[in-house]
Structure 1
């Protein structure tokens, strides 16, 4: 790292051998970016349209040829879907901060991780968050870190299970942002953590805490993961296998039998077959077969969002109750709880090895 003399202003200084008048250079730091999926800026039609257009134009998400897909998306889908999606977001919107719960929770996670990293590394590590779609954008956060003197960045997609449509596209966007910089920081991307012991334990503890407050234990625990087309699995995406392993490890940690925990997939979009069983159909089938009490959680989401607060806790709940179920319990995502934050910090400490040195004491 460049040798600096006394700072000309906070956080900056002159290079030791630079000529008089050389512009101040930010002191070298390491950046940590927590990356989540994204969020619209508002629930109105145009905010939703901008967000959905960016999201559904991503070839990692919808990989149909652009010449075929874009006319359908821009003409048919985006003339109607922003209205229905806006209503869904409006039902869960954080009106106090005028933002989606995903942004609120991701900020809370970031603040807690930042405090934990400061306790370990002092001011040598800078922590922020970005969204793959919407704001704060990946590019803006990387630029801000580079300007603040981050010569190295650990980029952490908050997806426990790897998928091309989540982890890969987040990483793609980070590297696209680097392409626009004259001085690129070095970057490390954090791998999926679907079988990390602290992750499995945090999931298990969240189940145990909810169950401990219930008069009657649910007959089944459903682990509902966001779906992807079945074709992606056949083309080599490991997402399905990693979801299955997460649920198996969770079941073993909870001491459940194979009949007490089920894996399902939600959020099907479009005409082709997606990973099955579909959550909304499976909970109805369970109710029709005589199951009266279920609990459901979403291990693929690091923070509650429209897919959990609206889709699971409203649409999927209604499917179960209307089919004859009696008690539906939603177990929230790990969000900013202590066990989750401790896991994120543990992973980051591993990824920062060789780049950042813990402060003494």
Structure 2
């Protein structure tokens, strides 16, 4: 490498993806429900069962995306985050962000080809999931590895598994929560109490029992954010949304939390603590479906904290994480470097990496 050559750093942003047109809803759902990390049934059953589930859910999902104009806004928002992150890292490094969606375009293989064409010298894998789960970051990491093999992309790579309790992430999230809390409090009569509900995407209980660290990490995120909020006597709780299968999921559900709030006659402020971009789970589930439920339950108030999107504090936190990952000597690291999950969480990626070694 010549002295004049600046190191080209490819930052791979992992995210779920979403349909980009009404006709993409069903194939998007098929990709989702045929992922072995999502539908954990024997391989010979999965393709049939996954397509069956997708077919059953297409109508409802299409109605949700119709509210959003027929498509998910996730790709554009992720690309905006990528541009903001690259700008935050300049001029210290020549960084370019590439989006690798798991279930719809641009897929990992498209991103890998773009990284190769750009001539990157190294890569940083950056999930836009603060908390690690085998169903999200874990699946994306496996998908990226396979995509690189298919396109012949070989370059030094470091991966971040999670940033659930990262100081800058917690601080920037707390600032957004505090602003929404103050605004909600200003709208409510003085005698009406306000409960802060941190809502995360749910997960089947069986996956957590097998060692997935997601729920533990969600709880750590909430602890970190509440600590930095500094609101004395804060009434708050954790709940989960977006259940899609009949098996038992971790709880309490957001429905249950709203029902309890109605019994307690308190208003609620919902913070999407596991999502960093607006998409159907926030714009439709939280803003439409759960708002309607809150109205039916006669809650005295229903408010929502916005997702981070390209919030300057959040982008600054991501930039700090990239610097830390690149400056460390670990191919796989958490926001704090070493493994953070207790040993009981056998599906922590650090534990899996050690078993594979």
TM-score w.r.t. the length of structure 1 is 0.84
Partner residue in 2 for 1:91: 67
| Superposed counterparts of 1:7-86, under 5 Å | 29-44=8-23, 47-75=24-52, 77-86=53-62
Partner residue in 1 for 2:336: none
CA distance in 2, matches of 1:28, 1:207: 37
Verify: 1:103 aligned to 2:75, yes or no.
yes
CA distance in 1, matches of 2:3, 2:228: 51
Partner residue in 1 for 2:310: 336
Partner residue in 2 for 1:14: none
TM-superposed CA distance for 1:28, in Å, is 6.1
| Superposed counterparts of 1:305-316, under 5 Å | 305-316=279-290
CA contact under 8 A between 2:86 and 2:96: conserved in structure 1?
yes
Q: 2:196 aligns with which of 199, 209, 221?
A: 221
| Superposed counterparts of 1:204-353, under 5 Å | 204-213=174-183, 214-216=186-188, 219-256=194-231, 260-287=235-262, 289-353=263-327
CA contact under 8 A between 2:163 and 2:169: conserved in structure 1?
yes
Partner residue in 1 for 2:87: 115
Pick 1 or 2: higher relative contact order, CA cutoff 8 A, min separation 6: 2
Quick one: structure 1 residues 218 and 200, their matched pair in 2 at CA, closer, same or farther if it must change by over 3 Å?
farther
State the Cα deviation string for residues 95-150 of structure 1 (Å, max 9, x = none): 7xxx52211211111111121222322xx322222211111111111111112211
TM-superposed CA distance for 1:313, in Å, is 1.3
Q: CA RMSD in A?
A: 2.2
TM-superposed CA distance for 1:161, in Å, is 0.5
CA contact under 8 A between 1:36 and 1:131: conserved in structure 2?
yes
CA distance in 2, matches of 1:354, 1:264: 35
When the two structures are aligned, how many residues end up with a matched partner? 324
Q: 2:114 aligns with which of 122, 144, 147?
A: 144
CA contact under 8 A between 1:225 and 1:300: conserved in structure 2?
yes
Q: Secondary structure at the match of 1:72?
A: helix
TM-superposed CA distance for 1:218, in Å, is 5.4
Q: Secondary structure at the match of 2:90?
A: helix
Unaligned runs of 5+ in 1: 6-10, 12-26, 356-361
TM-score w.r.t. the length of structure 2 is 0.85
Unaligned runs of 5+ in 2: 330-357
Q: 1:128 aligns with which of 75, 95, 98?
A: 98
CA contact under 8 A between 1:28 and 1:149: conserved in structure 2?
no
CA distance in 2, matches of 1:274, 1:257: 32
Give the number of the structure whose alpha-carbon radius of gyration is greater.
1
Q: Secondary structure at the match of 2:123?
A: strand
CA contact under 8 A between 1:159 and 1:192: conserved in structure 2?
yes
CA distance in 2, matches of 1:322, 1:88: 20
